[in-house]
Structure 1
Amino acid sequence: MNTPSTVLITGGTGTTGSRIATLLRGQTTLRIATRKPSSGEHVRFDWANPATHGPALTGVGRIYLVAPVGVADPAPLVRPFLAAAVRAGVRRVVLLSSSAIDEGAPGLGALHRMVRTALPEWAVLRPSWFMQNFLGEHPVAAGIRTSGEIVTATGEGRVAFVDAADIAAVAARALLDPTPHNAAHVITGPEALSYADAAAVITESSGRRVRHRSVSTAELTTRLIAAGIPAEFAAILAGLDADIQRGADERVTSTVQSVTGRRPRSFAEFARVLAPP
């Protein structure tokens, strides 16, 4: 197999980007886009500063594209970047989107058609909700730490939570495979769980009682804003919870197995990392 040209990873120090970089090292040349470069692989990149885009794209053939975080309408920032990528000779782009966002939907959904029409080789990754939301600074994780509560507007709706490592594995194949995927991949874990189910799994694994409390979308929006999320984006996130309540994310797919050749990680396996040592 021919070694592909340089891969630019936007969001390269983030949840999926950092895992993709680990998988691709030694297989191709990497360029990791970040606002604060700290190593030889890093290149300065800021969505809001187009002057950083050209240097980041020089010599690049493939891009892992993570839209600007927390921006309700990323299209005005992404469109000129993709145009610059085409001019720079980029042939393939792999976009991180969401299973909750259909092509053409407001915001992130506008990018689906943009990437598949801008370049000849493409893939759109549409993962379900990340298992990693139960870790770190995410509001779900913060609620578990501070009050033993998971607060959502999902009701009894179910989600096939997916491990970021499985998303990264699919992305690596979409970036490196000789034949472009030219497809949208809905990526899920192996089972659909309600947040109450997830709380029960965490309780069993950690020995600490965790419960789920469902609130209205208005209350959740207020809570997210109080956590520092911009109001417009907070309303979008709360609306996605309402979609889960209506059953929009109950589906389970075989994408991880079919693309990578291995089974996806279960939530019970993931929950073990939440248990105290």
Structure 2
Amino acid sequence: MTMNFLVTGGTGTTGSRVAAALTDRGDSVRIASRAPAPGTPQVRFDWADPATHGPALAGTDGVYLVPPVGDAEPARLMVPLLERAVEAGVRRFVLLSSSAIAEGGPGAGEVHLALRGLAPEWAVLRPSWFMQNFASPSHLHGASIRAADEIVTATGDGRVAFVDADDIAAVAVRALTDERPHNAAHLITGPQALTYAEVADVVSGVSGRAVRHRPVTVARLRDRLVAGGLPEAFARVLADMDDGIAHGSEDRVDPAVERITGRAPRGFAEFAARNAAAWVPAPRA
């Protein structure tokens, strides 16, 4: 049976993958966009403009929810949409949160709590940090590898079970389309917890670059994130998450990907080998 979905963040790291997988299944997908491109499945949608919400939600069976980028308090925009969608008859919702944010915690944690109370059918994805952050030129890690052969964090020797966005999307699609609603939060990790120094070693091995991890203080990282263009409140949240990693908050592995999708999650070494071209220095002219 064909289902109808609205995918917020549909041009982003996980949303684009969720939209593509749903389309491949034969489902009808609307991709939320503040400036929809003609001739695409994109529809006008702005978290801050409630007038765009009704048309985007009309006739949908489920919504993939990605919090607005850079907003430290997304609940003020997202909860009114949830309430409107439920009133309009939308039954299933899947929220992208973070392994670092508990239900009822700051940011997406508030939305998690509201979703569980409002939605007839729901799931919350709590993925670890994305492997794609190291390969993307638009992310601070990817940019710093290219510019300075370094990864800068306040994590010290803390470990993270980095996860491939493809695995996050696979869980999201199951949560959106399984006949029985999950009605649960899923901690989503890769198969192995690594330090950032170990990640740097792997990237060095596949790229031919001498990449290193440069540890900094939480305050210095916050200033670096602000200088990179992030709002100060959001930069403070991210820097505090690094401090949590330094104290062991992300040193854990969970079997959710294999349990839900039937296949093992991709490890960082495999991800790095597949994406080596992202780090190989351009030949000199």
Whether TM-score is above 0.5 comes out as: yes
| Contiguous gaps of at least 5 residues in structure 2 | none
% identical equivalent positions: 60
Task: Give the distance between the partners of 2:104 and 2:80, measured in 1 at CA.
Answer: 18
Partner of 1:14: 12
Partner of 1:35: 34
Task: Give the distance between the partners of 1:109 and 1:241, measured in 2 at CA.
Answer: 17
Partner of 2:68: 68
- For residues 109-258 of structure 1, the aligned pairs below 5 Å read 109-136=109-136, 137-258=138-259
SS at match of 1:47: coil
> What TM-score, normalized to structure 1?
0.97
User: Pairwise CA RMSD of aligned residues?
Assistant: 1.1
The amino acid of 1:172's aligned partner reads: V
Task: Give the distance between the partners of 2:214 and 2:55, measured in 1 at CA.
Answer: 47
Task: Give the distance between the partners of 1:213 and 1:228, measured in 2 at CA.
Answer: 20
The amino acid of 1:213's aligned partner reads: R
Task: Give the distance between the partners of 1:140 and 1:79, measured in 2 at CA.
Answer: 31
Task: Give the distance between the partners of 2:40 and 2:142, measured in 1 at CA.
Answer: 33
Aligned length: 275
Task: Give the distance between the partners of 1:243 and 1:63, measured in 2 at CA.
Answer: 31
Q: CA deviation at 1:40?
A: 3.7
Task: Give the distance between the partners of 1:206 and 1:135, measured in 2 at CA.
Answer: 11
The amino acid of 2:72's aligned partner reads: A
Q: CA deviation at 1:84?
A: 1.0
The amino acid of 2:102's aligned partner reads: D
The amino acid of 2:257's aligned partner reads: V
SS at match of 2:209: coil
Q: CA deviation at 1:27?
A: 2.8
Partner of 1:58: 58
Partner of 1:44: 44
The amino acid of 1:52's aligned partner reads: T
Q: CA deviation at 1:36?
A: 1.7
Q: CA deviation at 1:135?
A: 2.0
SS at match of 2:61: strand
Give CA deviations for 1:37-91 in whole Å, capped at 9, x if unaligned: 1134110101111111010000011000001110000111011111110121100
Partner of 1:82: 82
Q: Are the counterparts in 2 of residues 60 and 88 from structure 1 also a CA contact under 8 Å?
A: no
Task: Give the distance between the partners of 2:271 and 2:16, measured in 1 at CA.
Answer: 18
Give CA deviations for 1:113-151 in whole Å, capped at 9, x if unaligned: 111111110000000000011122111111101110100
| Contiguous gaps of at least 5 residues in structure 1 | none
SS at match of 2:190: coil
Partner of 2:261: 260
Q: CA deviation at 1:191?
A: 0.2
Q: Are the counterparts in 2 of residues 70 and 229 from structure 1 also a CA contact under 8 Å?
A: yes
Task: Give the distance between the partners of 2:47 and 2:19, measured in 1 at CA.
Answer: 20
SS at match of 2:155: coil
